[in-house]
Structure 1
Amino acid sequence: MNKNDSIGHPERILFVTGRLAEFSLREVLEKLAPQVGFEYEVAVLNVQVAALLHVPLIRRRLQVPESIDWVMLPGMCKGDLQELTDHFGVRFERGPKDHFDLPEFFGQANRPPRDLSGFDIEILAEINHAPLLSDEEILRQADLYRNSGADLIDVGCIPGESWSRAGEVVRLLVEAGHRVSIDSFDQAEVEAAVNNGAELILSCNYSNLDWVSRLGTEVVAIPDLPEDFDSLHRIVDQLLQSNTPFRIDPILEPIGYGFGASLERYYRARREFPDFEIMMGIGNLTELTEVDTAGMNLVLAALCQELRIKSVLATEVINWARTAVTEFDHARRLVKYAIENKTLPKHIHYQLVMLRAPKLKQLGAEALQNLASQIRDPNYRIFAEENEIHVMNRDGYWKGTDPYELFDQFQAVVSKSLDASHAFYLGYEMCKAVTALTLGKQYQQDQPLSWGFLTQEEVSAQERRQEERKGPQCGPR
């Protein structure tokens, strides 16, 4: 693609898109055009999603300025582009399916990373049932939460019991450099915690309003019953009269117990308390819904960002929520960036794409066959494509869904049996390939599968052989 015409002027390209992608497309083109050396205009047709564009619609609605050399359409645009070329008198081409791949399309694949250092939402991470833990366990869990992104450690007490060491443990955490809140309705626990450095009390309603409002410490105001929003108004009025600092929490309810109505209460709280801080306890959803939590955390972070909810209470009690704090940390940064930059929260970073892959890059059947025909050495190449594992070396090309059967097949034709380490390597790699096929992940031999922020780096077989200086490599050259 020439970036200058025959008399030396930069090409002028018209990029066609839908309303949803306009802002981020312009952001990409603003940086890309000077790098590649073209000029551009953007035509936004009256559709939300660019993938819905098709040739008849474009022919009816598009106007092509006279100065345009050619027109780029989204890659998923349907229809015969020659019809548009004949109608408008300029060349039409399909670009990539996603405009974030335009740098690669124009040979500028290296895109600078997005700045995700900013966030607006504070994370309180609860140490659940702290009285049942040793001091060492409490400190270890607090450090883990802080390293996961928590801003404040919430010491969770046991309802109906009074813990004599609440103040002592809070002091221990404060001395270790943690900011601390106390989660209790017991007066002795709360007063001891506040006297030893707790800066926030969870929670305050009419059952403890009389004494908690005298402590001078910020409280989380909640309704007496989740559905009784009017009681929240009365509690706020009392806290204002006593000059008690507070934030409010209308209480997020679990699915099946008023979840939808509780979301509406957060919207109502923002309308009726426009200047007050709001908190959301997200554990009622993440802990009480049997599903992977990363997606829930992203949606909850987006809701909080849009409603200016500046703090959440997160927990990691049940196993499927064991990384909930880290997930919300990534989510709060992603949604802040997306909302501030008026762009969709995609193709910004992939740390929360954990189960599958953001994009699958596959060679295809023809390329795999060509590659197999050119191999002249005994090293095995393994691919995972088209719902099959593909194994090839100079002795043959085998493919199928059962790694045991594949192993028997290529073992039957090789001149020499595999040694134990080589057999282990091939089994390990085929196990990864099966996992990739099962989940829709990208598989690349000798590379770790990507699990988002949970990805573990691994030393390849080739690197191990080089370090050990033993025998030939068993991975690909």
Structure 2
Amino acid sequence: MRILIVTSRMAEPLINEVVKEIKESFHNKDLMIDVVASKVPVAALMTTKDLDDLMDGLRDRLKLYDAVLVPGLLIGDIEIVCKKYDLRRCYKGSKYAGDLHKVIEALLNGVELSTREPADNILLRDEEDVSRRFFEERSLEAFYIKNLKIPKRSPPLLLAHEIVIKGDLDKDLKMFNKLYDKRYIDIIVVGTEVGSDRPEYIRKIFREIIKITDKPLAIDSLNIKEIETAVSEEASLVMNLSRSFENWIDRLNMINSDLAYIVVPENVGGGTAIERAEACVKEYDYFYGKGLRKIILDPVIPPPLFGSIEALYSISLIKRRLENVPTLLGASNIYELIDADPVGIITFLTAMAIETGASLMLLTEESWKSKGSFDYASRSVELVHRAVKKRSPPIDVGVDVFVAKSKRGSAHINIPYENIQEIFQKIPPKRIDREKFFVVQPNYDEDLIEVYIFIKDDMKAKYLLKGRDPRSLGRKALQLAEIDDPEHAFYLGFEIARAYEALKTYKYYEQDSE
């Protein structure tokens, strides 16, 4: 197979090095790879017009190649250019040079990539689906909750995401709508606040949620009227059943005799792993004797410094005693109650859940610092699933859960220059434009960046721009404000970039702060 790789002028030396490594690793005499560079300095600035110009100059050579790969960061859909030059296997490659090896391997295996999306995105989705199916097909069934198979133990590790409703229907539904398209959300839990007594509101919420999802729904409430209402509106799982509330069972069985329950112990003695496991086993025997068959045991993980390690270990002990009974790991009690970024904690707990044999992990996003936890958990499950499938630690498996850091640094390219200046002192702006100014802020609720354009001393903004692409927002703002001062343009671009990072990572943002 002969492949042509298109790259940018500055990245050409790096791509040549990567291609050399690829050729050596494949040991395939029939694999030939050529590299050609566009005049455009960096891939992120390349457009379909640049690609067209390059292909036109190579027109006579193109018939020699079985496939053409262009930079994954190239702007636009390359399909028209591919058809113009009769390139039948012409795709966007990876965004990063380090992932080119996987793209070449996919091409050799006949994988169809995309003219619109970078190859990394396509390959990641395919691998996610394969990993999930692999474990679903091999897992042993404990029982079903609605259409969801609950395994006796992980993998696969199922995720339950709980949203505590506040009483504002529009805002509450917006939170549930955000869950609809997320990967690896298996059960949606409707939680209520302590002392809640709004059964009719529960009815409204459940009726709206079932319009947008067919996932199993659960209710987390201490009010039997709310629970009865939820069960009558298709809730399939009841959270936090203990002996203090065993009178629920007969009342709920009259509505749905096929309910599943999360059973929790009321007394775990000193809280050691052995005592906690023993308490859970006793609760299982007790409620099994009451006729319940769909039981998931929750040892109730306490916060860090209060016995969380003992509780995690108790899951493993429970599985030794009751190997056919699913268990739940409540992750939020750990990451919600420690002032640290939750992403690494969630990934660690995901690995521990599978190592101990938990079937289900429960997550919330109640505090501001825990925003994004549902996404972190989904990515963590994929990371750990792949590692288990490969029988390796959760590293170098093709997916990661880095947010503040990355697995590798960017390649440093040696660029020729005539002069060098080192800037270590602060340089103030030459002038400040007091006629026009911008206010920039992230809108976390709508997942958008907002740019307000003010003219002179008017207290009301002339324009409000909202969007997700920082470059487009900046260009439009400069156009509407009729600003061509590079100092002002630089300031606006810098603040929009900061707001964009804050929006992606749920960080605090304050304009003009260091």
TM-score normalised by structure 1 residue count? 0.57
- Share of identical aligned residues, percent? 14
In structure 2, distance between residues paired with 1:421 and 1:255: 53
Structure 2 Cα separation of the partners of residues 125 and 300 of structure 1: 15
Q: Deviations over 1:96-145 (max 9, x none)?
A: xxxxx9998xx8985654512334222211111x2x32222222111112
Residues 1:153 and 2:188 are matched in the alignment: yes
CA contact under 8 A between 1:200 and 1:219: conserved in structure 2?
Answer: yes
Provide the residue aligned with 2:197 in structure 1.
162
Deviation at 1:306, TM superposition (A): 2.2
Match of 1:187 in 2: 224
Question: Are 1:360 and 2:409 an aligned pair?
Answer: yes
Contact map agreement 1:297 1:331 (CA 8 A) in 2:
yes
Q: How does 1:48-127 map to 2 (within 5 A)?
A: 110=104, 112=106, 113=123, 115-117=127-129, 118-119=131-132, 120-127=156-163
The match for 1:33 among 23, 26, 33 is 26
1:397 positional shift: 2.8
Distance 1:290 1:453, change over 3 A: closer
In structure 1, distance between residues paired with 2:99 and 2:196:
61
Q: How does 1:393-432 map to 2 (within 5 A)?
A: 396-401=419-424, 404-405=426-427, 420-424=484-488, 426-427=490-491
Task: Say yes or no: does 1:171 pair with 2:207.
Answer: yes
1:291 correspondence with 2:336 = no
Alignment of 1:305-454 (within 5 A): 305-349=354-398, 352-363=401-412, 367=414, 371-373=416-418, 396-401=419-424, 404-405=426-427, 420-424=484-488, 426-427=490-491
Name the aligned partner's letter for residue 33 of structure 1: F
**Structure 1: gaps of 5 or more residues:** 1-27, 39-100, 374-395, 409-418, 436-447, 455-477
Spell out, residue by residue over 1:425-444, the C-alpha distance to the aligned partner (whole angstroms, 9 max, x if none): 555777899x8xxxxxxxxx
1:342–1:351 distance in 2 versus 1, CA, 3 Å: closer
Return the offset for 1:36. 6.3
| Correspondence list, 1:459-474, <5 A | none
Q: Is the 8 A contact 1:281 1:313 kept in 2?
A: yes
Letter in 2 for 1:360: G
List, as ranges, runs of 4+ consecutive aligned residues in structure 1 with deviation greater than 6 Å: 28-31, 101-104, 428-433, 448-454
Distance, in Å, in 2 between the alignment partners of 1:172 and 1:125 is 17
Number of aligned residues: 313
| Matching residue within 241, 245, 248 for 2:289 | 241
Aligned residue number for residue 66 of structure 1: none
> Does structure 1 residue 196 correspond to structure 2 residue 196?
no
Counterpart in the other structure of 2:146: none
Q: Against the structure 1 CA distance between its residues 30 and 122, is the aligned structure 2 distance closer, same or farther, given a 3 Å change threshold?
A: farther
Cα pair 1:103 1:109 within 8 Å, conserved: yes
- Following superposition, the deviation at residue 171 of structure 1 comes to 2.9
Distance 1:237 1:424 in 2: 70
Residues of 2 paired with 1:348 and 1:305: CA distance? 17
Whichever residue aligns with residue 405 of structure 1, its letter is I
* TM-align CA RMSD: 3.7
Note if contact 1:277-1:309 (Cα within 8 Å) is conserved in structure 2. Answer: yes
Residue in 1 that maps onto 2:79: none
Q: Distance in 2 between matches of 1:176 and 1:301?
A: 27
Give yes or no for contact 2:280–2:318 (8 Å, CA) kept in 1.
Answer: no
Query: Does the Cα contact within 8 Å between 1:222 and 1:251 map onto a contact in 2?
Result: yes
Greater Rg by CA: 1
Residues 77-107 of structure 1: CA distance to partner in whole angstroms, max 9, x if unpaired?
xxxxxxxxxxxxxxxxxxxxxxxx9998xx8
Which blocks of at least 5 consecutive residues in structure 2 are unaligned? 1-20, 32-96, 107-122, 133-155, 431-482, 507-514
**Structure 2 Cα separation of the partners of residues 171 and 127 of structure 1:** 16
* Stretch of structure 1 that moved more, 424-433 or 233-242: 424-433
Cα shift at 1:358: 1.9
User: CA 1:140/1:420 → structure 2, altered by over 3 Å: closer, same or farther?
Assistant: same
Give the conservation status (yes or no) of the 8 Å contact 1:357–1:450. Answer: no
1:218 aligns with 2:260: yes
2:315 pairs with 1:266: yes
Contact 2:281 2:322 in 1 (8 A): no
- What do residues 321-344 of structure 1 show as CA deviations (whole Å, max 9, x unaligned)? 110001100110110001111233
Shift of 1:453: 9.2
AA partner of residue 332 (structure 2): G
- Which deviations, in whole Å up to 9, do the C-alpha atoms of 1:272-297 show, x marking residues without a partner? 22111111111111211111111111
SS at match of 1:400: coil
d(CA) in 2 for partners of 1:350, 1:431: 31
Cα pair 1:126 1:315 within 8 Å, conserved:
yes
- Judge conservation of contact 1:204–1:212 (CA < 8 Å) in 2: no
Is the contact between residue 383 and residue 399 of structure 2 (CA under 8 Å) also seen in structure 1? no
Aligned to 1:62: none
